[in-house]
Amino acid sequence: MKNALGQSQTIVLLGGNSDIGVAIVRAAVTPFTRQVVLACRDTARGEAVAATLRSEQLAVAVEAFEGGEPAGHEAFVAGLAERFGNLDLVIVAYGLLGDAEVTRTDVAAAVALAQVNFTGTVGAIVAVGNQLVRQGSGSLVVLSSVAGERVRAANPVYGGTKAGIDGFCQGYGDWLAPQGVHLLLVRPGFVHSAMTQGMKAAPFATSPEKVAEVTIKGLRARRRMVWAPPILRVVFSVLRHVPGPVWRRLPLG
């Protein structure tokens, strides 16, 4: 249950090994927070992350979670609520970047990526939304990407899944709002993280900590969408209107 200042007692991270997700958790934890749940596929890595978060005041649990298997998401989220009480803040931060050279032409690889990034993510979001509606309160943060604002040829399957999640969350967030649930959509640009290690940084590259800072400000202001860094909102207000022939020639990766 959140306190009068909106501080979360229980925080859940779906994608417990996500660099950005963990940074958001760190930024969201206050002296009022009592429980963090890291839900992830690789629980050994999750335990290593949990060890950096635990304190005498803060309990951190690591739970096995398969983002690409939505059939189990409803029961998983309900089980968390049964064990830990109201889920005050849930962050959905898992996904795969994929190898664009493969996913552009390999049907199985493209479908596998879409299963995790779109189908599985929609399942998780709806499962969490159902729980927060039952509670009548709570905040849901979903990591999208500027890659979904206008999908590039460089990685169309990844960008397409982000475009789908982005559009879904805008409508779903409108449905949740009258029921006392806040959905914040986060659109990061290129983030220096384990996912992007070895890749050439795009303009306006940022860090997980900076994304977390923007996210927390958005939560406090009850924003529906934030860009990280904020300048990308201005950049894409122009790029989304660039004619197709020009867009295809832009050196955007």
In a domain, 87, yes or no: yes
Nearest by Cα to 216 from 10, 26, 28, 22:
28
Known catalytic residues?
A: 158
C-alpha span between 156 and 248 (Å, rounded): 13
Q: Are 202 and 189 in contact (CB under 8 A)?
A: yes
In a domain, 41, yes or no: yes
In a domain, 70, yes or no: yes
pTM of the model: 0.90
In a domain, 3, yes or no: no
Q: Are 131 and 83 in contact (CB under 8 A)?
A: no
What CATH number is associated with residue 47?
3.40.50.720
Q: According to the model, what pLDDT value does residue 154 have?
A: 85
In a domain, 34, yes or no: yes
In a domain, 252, yes or no: no
Q: According to the model, what pLDDT value does residue 4 have?
A: 41
Q: What's the token pair of residue 146? A: 């500027």
| Structural domain of 191 | 10-247
Residue 241: CB atoms within 10 Å: 9
- Per-residue pLDDT for the chain (253 aa), expressed as one digit of tens each? 554 445 679 999 999 999 999 999 999 999 999 999 999 999 999 999 999 999 989 999 999 999 999 999 999 999 999 999 999 999 999 999 999 999 999 999 999 999 999 999 999 999 999 999 999 999 999 999 988 888 888 899 999 999 999 999 999 999 999 999 999 999 998 787 776 766 666 666 788 999 999 999 999 999 999 999 888 887 777 766 677 676 567 665 5
Domain count, the chain: 1
Q: Are 49 and 43 in contact (CB under 8 A)?
A: no
Q: According to the model, what pLDDT value does residue 197 have?
A: 64
User: Which residues, in sequence order, are CB contacts of 145 under 8 Å at separation 6+?
Assistant: 159, 162, 166, 187, 188, 189
Q: According to the model, what pLDDT value does residue 1 have?
A: 59
In a domain, 5, yes or no: no
Q: According to the model, what pLDDT value does residue 56 have?
A: 87
In a domain, 4, yes or no: no
